[in-house]
Amino acid sequence: MPFGISKEKGIFEEYIGKYVIIYPHSGNSFAGKITKIYEGFAKLNPHQAGIYTDKGLIRKMINEDSIVNLSNINGIEPTTKENLENFCNSLNSQNKI
């Protein structure tokens, strides 16, 4: 495989219980805590999300499942809950929310 990460069986299991940023080949990244890996998908909970309110878009960590397809990604970057929360706060302050 010339690009991306290895599709070797079990390669993603080391990330279960850890906070990560997942980079797909195209589109936006996904960030949160991997709680389960199954059939080529990762379940993130909590995960970073954009919530639309009457004040505009607010970024925050939410306690809901997010399912991410792992079959077409460039990589996974380990991070921490604090880093993800600080990123949300930074974006929100830039948007004056």
**Could you give the domains of the chain?**
13-94 (2.30.30.100)
pTM: 0.84
CA atoms of 53 and 58, how far apart (whole Å): 7
Helix (H, G, I), strand (E, B) or coil at 22: strand
CA atoms of 58 and 50, how far apart (whole Å): 6
Q: Which two tokens stand for residue 77?
A: 């970057």
Q: What is the pLDDT of residue 11?
A: 82
Q: What is the pLDDT of residue 26?
A: 84
- Profile the chain (97 residues) by mean pLDDT over runs of 10 residues: 50 94 92 94 96 90 95 93 95 79
